[in-house]
Structure 1
């Protein structure tokens, strides 16, 4: 039969087939009668109304999707009837959808928790919600509201981390008390960190650890009340990028030992004396008393270089320094028990963990917290991190800000204020001219001698300061010769022939006594000069 029909249609062709269908329809209408034709008309009308309603609804959803900047599939599943179907299918009955608000990265959906649903159970079922709405993994986050039966379902449809996160250069004055932007989460929110704390930075080679160190150091370089000190025992390969930005660069084990002795014997006692004079137990952070960041790059090298007694002295410095406005940042790519002793880990207030190789390294850093999701060896890749401190106690994966070496070199420390011009002397009062010329007594004329003639012979240079002169007096004399232009500690070393630590200690003593004033980063003048009086 089918072969015969096929042969007939082939013989008729397209036009013949169309004519045959029309004739068949007319014959059918004659056969069904009047009632059958009315029923067909009603069915056709219903089909047209349904089709029209569907088109109008589709156009409405399309326009709403465009306004909310959502994919059409997600916009369709967020419709009230589809939402109810999704919650029933995913066994989330009682999750009622409320108002939807657009956000920079997606939408926020207000929901009401009905039935047996709680915020905890909804958070545990967030993967079911992602599957029901058809979003990517990690695109939904649940946030509680003031009322226990209310919550917000945050949905991201635009990934802010698809590209490297650029460093947000500050536009105004920077202070050590300001939190620094460290990374960004998948919802486009900044993760900020307090710089005035001891920070442990760990991550495998190539994980982005050096960039994180530059991101943390940049606001310290820009801050007027902060100074940076870099210890790099890898032959100075990393600290070379901090040239002109770090006040001190340590590149050898001997320099590290000398610097540690200076901190314990000179600088910490001096800072303690400043606090005693002010009657405070908190370091008074200010441009005159700046915080100091001691950043150790690759701490494993320092651990290997110091003896047991020297390590004990270093741990004592670590314990005491924070109270005097000195904060240690410790970076290492070898998070092992031998390189991260308990005396070091227990003192760290914050941990920045980038991508690691093995689970054992995660356990060394986070110990028992590794069971609660603090597993940096499972991070997606380079630049991703976990931050643990007082403000961040949940393991949230974020992508670190990227600051390359070239951009970091362009960062300039705040310029020293220019010395103020000295005030103009008062205009003298000219007495009236006498009517008769004054008469000089004869004896005065006899005693009067002409001034010595001007000599063009170069005056002999001053003799170097004797070694038995106290360092503070030698530095004071060198400052007096510099005048209002001021001088730097390096120039003072040449002028006095004294060592770096001696010059710095003498400068601090003169500042504490009010005899010297710092007029900018690295320049000092005597307090009795015009520039010093203005700057003070």
Structure 2
């Protein structure tokens, strides 16, 4: 110890002398102990570029394992060969479960495993330095390293790891000091990380800092998504979308359901998973500004619902049928005027009451949809127009919203801005359990469409940047995830409607009886009232004569129900009742859905 003290004393004394006489000291390796610093620097470089050096590391590991096998376990070569074949087959079949989603990636992993395992087998049998095994290992490692070095996801992961290595400084800059990254995963469109928040921090705090995070990470605007982890309050999933997966429209693949009891597939989330939601016994609301894609979402919904033989669809479109008229052949009723809309909703309430009475008599609690007892779905386009032009309809929609769950009578409304004035004073908006928000202009409209407090919780519908993109809030979708609905263009709507129209179900007997009872009640009420001046007392007889005449003069393709209503002045339920009576008598024939004419001698029996 005294020797070390003397040495340090001499070093300080020599340094003072050099400074006194202006002599620069000579730096020696022992003075600064450069060797450990060089070793540490090299180790840091190896760790930093460990991904690029991975092929060399694997090649060295294979060579070392070959030496060990040849020296101590040469008789294991059959075991090595069998294990290699099993691992290669497992990677080809189940590679997607180890983050190898693409077939070419699974093929590369399987081929690399087969090469390494075959070389180890030969090394164990012949020796690792037997010609030409060393050359084969070197050349093969270089050839297999080229795809590894060029792989996009590997390079992206390296870039992400180096970016996130600076997370402590980033977190300090954006106000999330104390948070740290637990894991990271690169996908096709960007990367996602699991954040462990600092003590006292919440997911809402991280959501507020999203613009600052976008700046600190150097991403594009709107590229970051933050979602809570339901199991732990101090965890959050942060996703960085470097390439927008919804930049282009997604063609509609066709109906995804065959029964209204199944969840409808409305579109795709950004990770490619389907947006599935069940509409049975749930009312729905589609909101967003004009041109945001509400009509497209409604078309996708109708494309699925019209394929269900256990659902009847009624429509209300006060834009004179501009949106729903292409689906007219699949809609049992379509109201395009305020008066017709009021009558349609009144009949819907009558059906609701009839079904409730039936369930009560049978001791049942819910109406189970089937082709003989279909669910009733009422789709209303531009709900605000309905409330303004047909104020009397509000009491009907309120009744359906409150009581429609058990008897399977469902409302689906689309509107631009579902304010209290637009939705009426009833309980319609509060009963909407499924809410889709397409793009909106003002932040406050987020809470109008999705519910109070949703904007603060991270449901940023005002950041949606393309038609068809939406956020969905439903019992099975309680975190904000961006999605895009499918594109079903006008030609697709026409083809789909023509394909589904012949398979639409008729109204069930219980609902039809409820409509007949309501029609009889209206008739009896009108009979006790004083008749207006010049009223015709023989109107029913004249209507029947007009009906027979219209059916007799109808073309071979038949007369439409709309034409028959115009010719006779009958209401739709009365017309259907009279047509059914005449059909049972064998006097008329239904040519196709909604088209009738008188039976003729040339018709088949």
What TM-score bracket applies, with the shorter chain setting the length? 0.5 to 0.7
Per the alignment, residue 239 of structure 1 pairs with 324
Check 1:388–1:508 CA distance in 2 against 1; reply closer, same or farther (3 A cut): farther
Partner residue, 2:430: 346
User: 1:89, CA displacement in angstroms?
Assistant: 6.0
Query: 1:165 maps to what in 2?
Result: 250
Pick the aligned partner of 2:296 from 194, 211, 235.
211
Q: Which runs of 5+ in 2 are unaligned?
A: 1-34, 55-145, 504-538, 552-558, 582-589, 597-605
2:572 corresponds to 1:500: yes
Shift of 1:126: 7.7
* Partners of 1:224 and 1:414 within 8 A in 2: no
1:315 aligns with 2:398: yes
Q: Is 1:282 aligned to 2:275, yes or no?
A: no
Q: CA contact under 8 A between 2:315 and 2:378: conserved in structure 1?
A: yes
Partners in 2 of 1:282 and 1:508 — Cα distance?
29
Distance 1:360 1:124 in 2: 17
Alignment-derived partner of residue 277 in structure 2? 193
Output the CA distance in 1 between the equivalents of 2:434 and 2:425: 15
Paired residues of 1:225 and 1:289 also in contact (CA < 8 A): yes
Residue equivalent to 2:261: 177
Who is 1:356 aligned against?
440
Quote how far apart the aligned CAs of 1:176 are: 0.8
Deviations 1:250-295 (A, max 9, x none): 1112222322332334x23432344245431101111111111111
**Structure-2 change in CA distance of 1:491 and 1:324 (3 Å):** farther
**What are the superposed Cα offsets for residues 347-381 of structure 1, whole Å, 9 maximum, x if unpaired?**
32222222223345445444454444445344324
Question: 1:109: how far off?
Answer: 5.6
Contact 1:94/1:117, CA 8 A, preserved across alignment: no
Deviations 1:132-156 (A, max 9, x none): 7655553465664978998866555
Other structure's SS at 2:405 match: helix
Matches of 1:314 and 1:114, distance apart in 2: 46
CA contact (8 A) 1:226 1:290 kept: yes
TM-score (structure 2 length as normaliser): 0.54
2:161 aligned with 1:78, yes or no? yes
Q: After superposition, where does 1:425-504 map in structure 2 within 5 Å?
A: 499-502=571-574, 504=576
The whole-number CA distance in structure 2 between the counterparts of 1:404 and 1:376 is: 24
Residue 229 of structure 1 aligns to a residue whose secondary structure is strand
Tell me, yes or no, if the aligned pair for 2:444 and 2:455 is still in contact at 8 Å: no
Mean CA deviation greater in 156-165 or 139-148: 139-148
Residue aligning to 2:490: 405
1:376-429 Cα offsets, whole Å, 9 max, x none, are 344324222232232333344433332222212221555868xxxxxxxxxxxx
The CA RMSD over aligned residues, in Å, is 5.1
Cα gap change, 1:331 to 1:96, in 2 (>3 Å): closer
| Cα distance change of structure 1 residues 121 and 203 upon mapping to structure 2, 3 Å threshold | closer
2:52 maps to: 59
Mapped partners of 1:322, 1:522: distance in 2: 29
1:379 pairs with 2:451? no
CA distance in 2, matches of 1:147, 1:367: 24
- Give the C-alpha shift of residue 244 in structure 1: 1.4
2:408 maps to 325
Number of matched pairs = 411
Specify the SS of the correspondent of 1:270. Answer: helix
User: Which residue matches 1:454?
Assistant: none
User: How far apart, CA to CA, are the structure 2 residues paired with 1:314 and 1:200?
Assistant: 13
Gap change, CA 1:159 and 1:301, over 3 Å in 2: closer
State how far apart, in whole Å, the 2-side matches of 1:143 and 1:306 are: 43
Assess if the C-alpha contact under 8 Å between 1:207 and 1:354 holds in 2: yes
Structure 1 295/115 Cα, relative in aligned 2: closer, same or farther at 3 Å? closer
How do residues 33-44 of structure 1 correspond to structure 2 at under 5 angstroms?
A: none
- Distance in 2 between residues matched to 1:414 and 1:371, nearest whole Å: 43
Residue number in structure 2 paired with 1:531: none
